[in-house]
Homo-oligomer: A and B are copies of this chain.
Amino acid sequence: MNPTDPLDYKRALPTIRLLTRCFQAFERLSNANVRKFGLTGPQFDILATLGNTDGMTFRELGERTLITKGTLTGVVDRLEARGLVGRCAHESDGRSTRVRLTACGQALFEQVFPQQLAHCSSAFDAHGCEELAELNERLARLLHSLENFGGSQSAAANNGENDD
């Protein structure tokens, strides 16, 4: 049972199942909370990515949230229609648009983000810091493999940096 035996194509199956189920369980938890604020998952992602920044271009926003440009226009449209984000011209590149939170969007971000984090984090209460740290190490290694696999996959996305 060589760990890199190409014939043993089933060895990753338990990991795949667990990863999927963990994420789905987390997402249910997360979405149920986010929807109370009238936000969808992608909308919250954008709010969280724009929070505590000067705003960013569609391209940057797309790279961070893994939403493609055509879709992003629609999602941002809906947030703009609700007065949560605004578009403004880029200072130096006439092709670019900068998206940023409005005062209203910033207020919502400040209300939702910590509350959302607290809500989701409480599901991790049974797990000590060391346990999480070890899990993180292993997930980080796996992430590296998954993102660099094949080469046809697009460059690693670097999701939001908000940590307050």
Chain A residues packing against B (C-beta within 8 Å): 1, 3-4, 6, 8-26, 28-29, 32, 66, 114, 117-118, 120-132, 134-136, 138-143, 145-147, 149-150, 152-153, 156-157, 159, 163-164
Contact = CB atoms under 8 A, between A and B. Distances in A.
B120 A159 contact: no
Contact of A10 (B4, B121, B142): B121
A21 B145 CA distance: 12
A17 B160 CA distance: 9
A159 B23 CA distance: 13
B20 A121 contact: no
Contact of A127 (B3, B114, B132): B3
A6 B125 contact: yes
B150 A29 contact: yes
Contact of A149 (B29, B135, B140, B153): B29
Contacts of A22: 19, 23, 139, 142-143, 146
Contacts of A152: 32
Given A25-B147, A141-B127, A146-B22, A6 B132 contact: no
Contacts of A149: 29, 122-123
A132 B153 CA distance: 23
B121 A9 contact: yes
Contacts of A135: 15, 135, 138-139, 142
B125 A21 contact: no
A8 B156 CA distance: 29
Contacts of A15: 124, 132, 135-136, 139
